[in-house]
Amino acid sequence: MDIELSNDDLSFEAEVREFLAGNAYKDGEDPNKWRMDWFEKAREKGGWDVPKWPAKFGGPGWTPNQHYIWQKETARSSTPWDMPFGLSMLGPVLMAHGSEEQQDRFLPDIRARKVNWCQGYSEPGAGSDLASLKTKAVLSEDGSHYVVNGTKIWTTMAHIADWIFCLTRTSDAGIKQEGITFLLFPMKQEGIEVKPIITLGGSHSVNTVFFTDIKVPVANRVGAEGKGWTYAKGLLEHERTGIAGISNSIVALEGLKDKASSVKRGNGSLMDVSSFKAKVAALEIDLMAVEYTELRSLATASAGTAPGPESSILKLKGTDIQQRIQKLTMEAGGQFSAAWGGTNAGPDFARAGMGGYMGSRVYTIYGGASEVQKDIVTKKVLGIKSSKK
């Protein structure tokens, strides 16, 4: 694959760098005001606030190389936090399968970052085997609304979400992938209880959510009843591509090298130790290979094709690389990494390294466990079918 940047690409790269440098956060600014101003200025650039949206819906219509440049430059720069659930996950589903009324109703507020969304997929008995979900949505006798009862788990940011896009079971007939319906409804209403789950890394980002007799208008159903599994798969492909975090890993690897270079070993640094240096080199080679896969995925997307099984490759290898970076960061901190949660000792990064390592254990689970991704790659890429009947 040719990734040489043309003169137009180089000009775009310079423009992106100028924008990011000119709009970086400055000490003393109101973070919330800076965040909203940043997105407004990005919008004025011609859809830079929604870089992955198609031009039809206000996106920039970039080439694969432009997407590649944007991802690399924003990973290195001061950019505002952004929730992916509405922008990168629900948005594409609504564009592809939502009614015109739903697009007009939900997409503007998603783009304006006025509404926070969360994802109601996993359940206590349906994680990697998502099609086994049991949250029920029963259509009322007059056909005007559904009544939803059930439980979702590992629901990221449910405690601050305004709305949820939720997979529900509307029928038990046929195979388990059938009878699943995609619904949208507000989180701030009676009958919804959110309980926090504190992760191994010590943070509160995920939750258990309980639904009791929640009424959802039929107008809030995306697409046809019973076709939610089809829409969910498309959404997961977008999610997995984002979770891979290739550009962020490139920056994180550079940071790991700097940290290891600051740790003294004999007359040199940890980066001079052959065993450690070999681990970093192997990681860098794998990251380069995944980066090329991402470029192929971007080329496919630019041609108007939805992400396919390559998103599973990206998720599988990208999250593995993220974990390896965190593990080597902890290794670089040595015995001082054990001070996590206590007084910092040794290198400045040591204590945070342990927290990052513990938090990274979930990377190969959420968004579809690695075992699930391997199964998808086996079937969809290698063409190997299961021998089980």
Residues 297 and 335 in one domain: yes
Q: Are residues 123 and 221 in the same domain?
A: yes
**Residue 381 — very low, low, confident or very high, per pLDDT cuts 50/70/90?**
confident
Model confidence at 274: pLDDT above 80: yes
Residue among 239, 291, 294, 310 flagged as catalytic: 239
pTM over 0.85, yes/no: no
* 387 within some domain: no
pLDDT of 24 strictly over 70: yes
Task: Please count the structural domains in the chain.
Answer: 3
| DSSP string for 302-338 | HTTPPP-THHHHHHHHHHHHHHHHHHHHHHHHGGGGG
The C-alpha angle with vertex 95 and arms to 94 and 98, in degrees rounded to 5, equals 45
Range of the domain at 271: 244-381
Task: State how far the Cα of 258 lies from the Cα of 75, in Å rounded to an integer.
Answer: 17
Does residue 139 sit within a domain?
Answer: yes
Q: Are 23 and 38 in contact (CB under 8 A)?
A: yes
Domain boundary (204, 228, 252) is at 228
Whether 15 sits among the annotated catalytic residues: the reply is no
Task: Decide if 103 is inside a domain.
Answer: no
- Other CB atoms within a 10 A radius of the CB of residue 139 amount to 15
The verdict on 316 and 344 lying in the same domain is yes
Same domain (yes/no): 220, 315: no
pLDDT in tens, 226-271: 999 988 877 666 565 666 788 889 999 999 999 999 999 999 999 9
Residue 356, domain CATH: 1.20.140.10
Q: What pLDDT sits at residue 186? A: 98
Residue 361 has pLDDT above 90, yes or no: no
If you average pLDDT over residues 375-380, what whole number do you get?
Answer: 84
Examine the pLDDT at 345 and tell me if it is beyond 80: no
Diameter of the chain measured on Cα atoms: 80
27-62, pLDDT tens digit by residue?
999 999 999 999 999 999 999 999 989 999 999 988
pLDDT band at 152 (very low <50, low <70, confident <90, very high): very high
* Mean pLDDT in residue range 18-27: 95
Q: Of the residues 29, 61, 82, which one is the last residue of a structural domain?
A: 82
Lowest mean pLDDT among 13-27, 159-173, 289-303, 373-387: 289-303
Task: Give the span between the Cα atoms of 288 and 300, in whole angstroms.
Answer: 19
Q: Which two tokens stand for residue 329?
A: 């960061």
Domain boundary among 82, 98, 125: 82
Same domain assignment for residues 346 and 268 = yes
pLDDT of residue 354: 82
Position 96 in a domain = no
